[in-house]
Structure 1
Amino acid sequence: MNISDVIVIGGGLVGSAVAYGLGRQGAKVTLLDEGDQAFRASRGNFGLVWVQGKGCGMTPYARWTRSSAGLWPQLAQALLDDTGVDVRLEQPGGFCFTFSDEEQERRRQRMQAIQDEFDGDYPFEMLDRQEVMARVPAIGPAVIGASYTPMDGHTNPLKLLRALHAANLKRGVRYVSGQPVKNVVAQPRAGGSLFTIEGRWQAPRVVLAAGLGNRGLAEQIGLHAPVAPNRGQVLIGERAARFLAYPTLNVRQTDEGTIQLGDSMEEVGFDDNVTTSVLADIARRGVRTFPVLAGLRLVRAWGSLRVMSPDGFPIYDESPRHPGAFVTTCHSGVTLAAAHAFRVAPWVGGAPQPQEIGAFRGARFLNPNYRPSHAH
């Protein structure tokens, strides 16, 4: 039997960030990763460290997201110190463009509602077309305005995953690839439980960070994580001369100069293929926003499955039946990576629960009176 202090199930961005935080505390950690045959959202995301607009109607999520974005420079520096990998974090602020007066007003109302929940401490600007053009000259004639906050940014998600894996190795985390997990057994004992994974791995604490696999695993240890897949499709364009210095919700220019276009949301089960109709819509919106993209050559496209709860918000929980068993699941693994490393990991290790986490228990979905505002 392989004995650890903590077993983390899932080697994507969520599990790797939690494992890294635990490793920094000196815990003996085993990270079990199914491998690249898994539905790996970590390799198919947009790379945004995004705050604006999130948490309208659910203030704890707005605070949780903003807290993580604020911790991101610390995470980027820690990974650079541990591995020499620069994850290319930039936080210049971000734009959400609008294409009609009605859309501009809806966006203003959403941002104002969140700012009111923060008693004014939530900076944002609503910009008209001329104000947007002063900062982003490449916008097209269809753009009539935008919301902007200084809190937003982006990073290179592939470099982030690489850095987390390398940092975990340096911190003594035992990484086991090609290890799918279907079975978690909890044995009650004095002061908690002992968890045995696939008959081989054992620890007094376990973290479910297996993405879409969390649903079945959670049921085995008294947790509720009713996650389901939501497909997003992304187009990648060739390297282009720098025209976009800010991240946006639908278009971003990476640190390497390539162009990403995306932000589709589809309920199609576990189908992670691409479709020409959705890709065409993504391309049209991109060109409408930035006409300079009209002649861009596309180099690849992909579909990836988000890990989505019924309300779109994260699920963080410790099992009341088997203390020491935690579930961590969300669809914003990049934005929330710093929170997972610096706030969730200490909680798993025995520190007090972060204040916001009480709102994200999976049991909320068992309450027939729960009426959430959706994360999007």
Structure 2
Amino acid sequence: MDTDYAIIGGGIVGLSVAWGLLQRGRRVTVIDGDDGAFRASRGNFGLIWVQSKGMKQPRYAAWSQQSAAAWKGFAEELGEASGTDLGLEQKGGYDFHFSEESLAQTVAQYETLKTRLGGNYPYEVLGRNALKQEEPAIGPGVVGAILHHQDGHANPLRLLQALAADVRRLGGRVLTGKTVVDVTKSDGFRLTCDDATALTAEKVVLSAGLGAASLGPKMGFRAPVRPQRGQVLITEKLPPLINRPSLIARQVSEGGIQIGATNEEVGFDDGVSLPGIGGLARQAIEAYPALARVRLLRSWAALRILTPDGLPIYQQSPEMPGAFLVTCHSGVTLAAAHARFLPDWLEGTDTAPQLEVFNEARFS
């Protein structure tokens, strides 16, 4: 075999898995597409986010918590090895509310989830006055917030850069500008690319994001993934204005305010629209009125990878044992779990995480 593992897709998900496997002494080859491919990793908002995830599936909440808890050590090791500061901050994050009704409704949902998690769901409710003390720049329309203490954020582009660099340092091969068009299996797996490049592998991990929809069925997966557009804005660099991130805005380590993100069902259109960025700007100003006087520097859009229920898929192919589908829309949040814990699942060790609830049988 050319390699122990062939990983199809070189985004944050694929590279995190590759990094973890290389740490275990496996030979790994990552096959990445060209610059025209849809890339969620390059448009990610950068949140390491626990709250609100897993409201209907507590295992997803627990998996997100496990990854968030592992992020500090993961960032330190990866940052030191690659010489890259990942900009990690985990001081908690806000879910802002503009009405007392929505705040009360969300708290009731969180209490239900907290009970199902055995009490392990560390959050607190901040009323208007308490929130103002924590975030002096908050607008008058925000009646309160839920502060979840496991939340945080990092720099997603630095994460992607660091993973790519350290995968190579650890001996992994990264083949860029290549799209896998066929996968067959006899004694091992044979992968064929669009430029006729071919390689063999003992195991295959399909982490190609939206590309899994076309390649997955050839490997025995349903791969029911679809795109959802998210648009993002970035402002000029500012003095400290926002202390903790939210789903509305976060202040990055360089000083700019990142504003996002939309949730648009527009197929494979990854362009920026005036209604989209206008809506983001209005919401950000409502939360932080001072942003009305700030210059916007950039806007961009990217396509999320969503499953029908929004949860990840971790599945070994019933038709091609040794082929695995790994896909999610929370690549940054789950990066530490994919690097630290998912390799045990791929290897079938005694310490493998229990991920059965995330297989494709739930779509039957």
**Matches of 1:222 and 1:353, distance apart in 2:** 26
Partner residue in 2 for 1:374:
none
Partner residue in 2 for 1:326:
324
The answer on whether the counterparts of 2:190 and 2:198 sit within 8 Å (CA) in structure 1 is: no
Alignment of 1:131-142 (within 5 A): 131-142=130-141
Amino acid at match of 2:73: Q
The answer on whether the counterparts of 2:206 and 2:326 sit within 8 Å (CA) in structure 1 is: yes
CA deviations on 1:249-270 (whole Å, 9 max, x unpaired) are 1100000001111121011100
Q: Secondary structure at the match of 1:238?
A: strand
Partner residue in 2 for 1:268:
266
Q: Secondary structure at the match of 1:148?
A: strand
Amino acid at match of 1:67: Q
**Matches of 1:181 and 1:76, distance apart in 2:** 30
2:208 is equivalent to residue 174 of structure 1: no
**Offset at 1:225?**
1.2
Partner residue in 1 for 2:191:
196
Partner residue in 2 for 1:160:
159
Amino acid at match of 1:284: R
**Offset at 1:35?**
2.8
The answer on whether the counterparts of 1:195 and 1:205 sit within 8 Å (CA) in structure 2 is: no
CA deviations on 1:248-298 (whole Å, 9 max, x unpaired) are 111000000011111210111000001111111110000000011011101
Identity score, percent:
45
CA deviations on 1:172-220 (whole Å, 9 max, x unpaired) are 0001110111211122x4xxx4343336111010000100011221111
Alignment of 1:114-263 (within 5 A): 114-187=113-186, 189=187, 193-198=188-193, 200-263=198-261
Alignment of 1:1-376 (within 5 A): 3-187=2-186, 189=187, 193-198=188-193, 200-352=198-350, 354-366=352-364
CA deviations on 1:73-99 (whole Å, 9 max, x unpaired) are 121011122111110111000011100
CA deviations on 1:99-136 (whole Å, 9 max, x unpaired) are 00111112211211211111212111111100111111
Give the root-mean-square deviation of aligned CA atoms: 1.3
**Matches of 2:200 and 2:245, distance apart in 1:** 43
**Matches of 2:205 and 2:285, distance apart in 1:** 43
**Matches of 2:152 and 2:250, distance apart in 1:** 10
**Matches of 2:257 and 2:349, distance apart in 1:** 41
**Offset at 1:141?**
0.4
**Offset at 1:353?**
7.3
**Matches of 2:300 and 2:189, distance apart in 1:** 40
Q: 1:325 to 1:352 in 2, by over 3 A?
A: farther
Q: Secondary structure at the match of 1:204?
A: strand
**Matches of 2:350 and 2:360, distance apart in 1:** 19
The answer on whether the counterparts of 1:49 and 1:69 sit within 8 Å (CA) in structure 2 is: yes
Q: Secondary structure at the match of 2:7?
A: strand
**Matches of 1:333 and 1:35, distance apart in 2:** 20
Amino acid at match of 2:248: N
Unmatched 5+ residue regions in structure 2?
Answer: none
**Offset at 1:352?**
4.4
CA deviations on 1:30-70 (whole Å, 9 max, x unpaired) are 00000321101001010000001110010110011111001
Amino acid at match of 1:194: F
**Matches of 1:349 and 1:164, distance apart in 2:** 21
Partner residue in 2 for 1:372:
none
Amino acid at match of 1:197: T
The answer on whether the counterparts of 1:224 and 1:363 sit within 8 Å (CA) in structure 2 is: no
**Matches of 1:194 and 1:184, distance apart in 2:** 7
**Matches of 1:354 and 1:226, distance apart in 2:** 25
**Matches of 1:158 and 1:136, distance apart in 2:** 27
**Matches of 2:175 and 2:349, distance apart in 1:** 26
Unmatched 5+ residue regions in structure 1?
Answer: 367-376
Amino acid at match of 2:157: L
Q: What is the TM-score normalised by the length of structure 2?
A: 0.97
Amino acid at match of 1:225: A
**Matches of 2:73 and 2:222, distance apart in 1:** 32
